[in-house]
């Protein structure tokens, strides 16, 4: 489950926690002081939800989690009794830490919450004489243990979902890899052998005597087809991008290109978690763009800028080389293959010569929707 779904759960529990406050206070005979507390609880709940929705990065801020717990527990403290209408609201502060931390971290957080609540209960005073009755003891015990149970349950679910997600990604990558190997094998074992045979047969005729121009051309075309196929096969056999950080992978490629040449390549930004297919295609596009900049455009400086925002990946490769050639080199299909990769992602790809003719800009703008590859 992506963080935004857990945020949904947070919103539901916070709203529920806040909305039960006024009725509970009414039952408890609302007086002036409690009226203020109810207002604070509702206002704080709305504000916290609003702030976290506006700036999603804050949803994972640890100090904010602690502060949130502190604010809500201090409402319990201000109410002055451990059986407080604000207790449920305070529990809602456990959702984000329980789902955002590792299992162990979540248990620690839950334990901390219990300790803090116990502290609050001791501060407002626990009537130990009355607690000795079974019902009161049970409810105090439950209030102490519920946060721990909630945290462990949520952390367990979140951990499980994270594992499933990882496994799904691995399975997706293995399936892709297997499919590529199958295609490579078929190309090699069937189509390529037939082309070899056709080339051999036609070249025998062409070599035997004065050949017609069209026969010579046919032999040339077959030879080129074999080269094309070798390129595709090399491509297919190269292991897929392993789904790690796109920035790190492109940096690695940049280092390989820089070794033994004077070119300087900078990779700015990163795109850490992308769907495997998107990452693999974006990697190959970025790689091709860099390779072109160094090998064909004789660039001395190239820059890659990566950015993920609003469910879109942006990859920008610019260089200071010669720009796009007026005529496409014979046998070059790098640009076409980049375009095909972009199409497979449902993405926009622009490859243009910079204004003024110095350098090339390759801009990819890809949606991060899983179903992009059909």
Partner 1 sequence: MTRVLVVDDHEAMRRGLETVLAATPDLIPVGTGSSEGDLWHLLKRVAPDVVVLDYHLPGQDGLMLCHRIKSLTLPPAVLIYSAYADESLEIAATVAGADGVLNKSAPANDLFAAIRSVAASEPTLRRPTPSALTAAAEKLDAEERPLLGMLIQRTPVPEVADALGLPLDEAADRIRAVIGRLRVRVPAGS
Q: Which of 62, 65, 56, 96 is nearest to 308 (CA)?
A: 56
Sign of the torsion formed by the C-alpha atoms of 136, 140, 141 and 143 = positive
For the chain, state the CA radius of gyration. Answer: 32
Which stretch, 99-107, 201-209, 245-253, 262-270, contacts partner 1 (CB under 8 A)? Answer: 201-209
Q: Pick from 219, 240, 274, 364: which binds partner 1 (CB under 8 A)?
A: 219
The answer to whether the beta carbons of residues 241 and 315 sit under 8 Å apart is no
CB of 225 to partner 1, least distance (A): 10
Which stretch, 48-56, 84-92, 200-208, 302-310, contacts partner 1 (CB under 8 A)? Answer: 200-208
Q: Pick from 196, 295, 301, 312: which binds partner 1 (CB under 8 A)?
A: 196
Regarding 200 and contact with partner 1 (CB under 8 A), the answer is yes
Q: Which run of H or of E encompasses 175?
A: helix 134-186
Give the contacts of 95 (CB within 8 A, at least 6 positions apart). Answer: 6, 9, 10, 13, 154
Which stretch, 88-96, 137-145, 195-203, 286-294, contacts partner 1 (CB under 8 A)? Answer: 195-203
Regarding 231 and contact with partner 1 (CB under 8 A), the answer is no
**110/368 Cα distance (integer angstroms):** 34
Regarding 218 and contact with partner 1 (CB under 8 A), the answer is no
| Residue closer to partner 1 (CB basis): 190 or 231 | 190
| Residue closer to partner 1 (CB basis): 58 or 226 | 226
* Bridge partners of residue 308, in order along the sequence: 313
**191/157 Cα distance (integer angstroms):** 49
CB of 219 to partner 1, least distance (A): 7
Regarding 207 and contact with partner 1 (CB under 8 A), the answer is yes
Q: Pick from 36, 201, 332, 369: which binds partner 1 (CB under 8 A)?
A: 201
The answer to whether the beta carbons of residues 122 and 96 sit under 8 Å apart is no
Regarding 174 and contact with partner 1 (CB under 8 A), the answer is no
Torsion of the alpha carbons at 233, 238, 243 and 246, rounded to the nearest 10: -100
Which stretch, 11-19, 189-197, 251-259, 356-364, contacts partner 1 (CB under 8 A)? Answer: 189-197
Of residues 112-171, those binding partner 1 (CB under 8 A): none
Q: How many CA atoms lie within 13 A of 368 on its CB side?
A: 16
**Could you tell me how many residues make up the chain?**
374
Q: Which of 268, 277, 263 is nearest to 248 (CA)?
A: 268
Q: Pick from 4, 130, 181, 252: which binds partner 1 (CB under 8 A)?
A: 181
Task: Please work out the total of residues on this chain that contact partner 1, with binding judged by CB under 8 A.
Answer: 24
Regarding 180 and contact with partner 1 (CB under 8 A), the answer is no
Residues forming contacts to partner 1 in the complex (CB under 8 A) are 181, 184-185, 188-190, 192-194, 196-201, 203-204, 206-208, 219, 223, 226, 237
């Amino acid at each position: 489950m992506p963080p935004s779904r857990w945020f949904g759960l947070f919103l539901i529990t916070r709203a529920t926690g806040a909305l039960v406050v006024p009725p509970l206070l009414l039952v408890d005979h609302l007086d002036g002081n409690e009226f203020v507390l109810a207002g604070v609880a509702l206002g704080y709940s709305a504000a916290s939800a609003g702030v976290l929705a506006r700036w999603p990065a804050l949803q994972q801020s640890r100090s904010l989690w602690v502060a949130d717990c502190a604010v809500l527990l201090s409402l319990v403290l201000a109410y002055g009794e451990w059986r407080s209408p604000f207790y449920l609201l305070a529990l809602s502060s456990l959702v984000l830490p329980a789902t955002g931390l590792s299992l162990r971290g979540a248990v620690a957080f839950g334990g901390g919450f219990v300790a803090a609540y116990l502290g609050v209960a001791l501060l407002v005073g626990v009537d130990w004489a009355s607690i000795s009755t079974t019902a009161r003891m049970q409810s105090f015990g439950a209030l102490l243990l519920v946060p721990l149970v909630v945290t462990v349950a949520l952390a367990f679910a979140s951990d499980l979902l994270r594992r499933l997600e990882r496994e799904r990604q691995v399975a997706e990558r293995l399936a892709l890899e297997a499919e590529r190997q199958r295609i490579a094998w078929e190309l090699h074992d069937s189509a390529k052998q037939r082309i070899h045979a056709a080339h051999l047969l036609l070249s025998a005729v062409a070599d035997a005597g004065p050949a017609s121009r069209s026969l010579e051309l046919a032999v040339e075309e077959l030879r080129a087809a074999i080269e094309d196929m070798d390129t595709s096969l090399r491509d297919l056999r190269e292991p897929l991008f392993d789904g790690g950080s796109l920035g790190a992978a492109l940096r690695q490629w940049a280092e390989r290109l820089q070794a033994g040449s004077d070119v300087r390549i900078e990779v700015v930004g990163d795109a850490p978690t992308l769907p495997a297919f998107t990452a693999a295609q974006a990697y190959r596009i970025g790689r091709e763009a860099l390779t072109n900049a160094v090998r064909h455009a004789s660039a001395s400086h190239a820059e890659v800028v990566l950015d993920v925002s609003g469910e879109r990946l942006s990859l920008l490769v610019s260089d200071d080389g010669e720009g796009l050639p007026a005529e496409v080199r014979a046998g070059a299909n790098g640009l076409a293959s980049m375009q095909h990769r972009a199409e497979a992602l449902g993405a926009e790809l622009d490859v243009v010569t910079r204004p003024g003719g110095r350098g090339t800009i390759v801009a990819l703008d890809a949606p991060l929707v899983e179903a992009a590859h059909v």
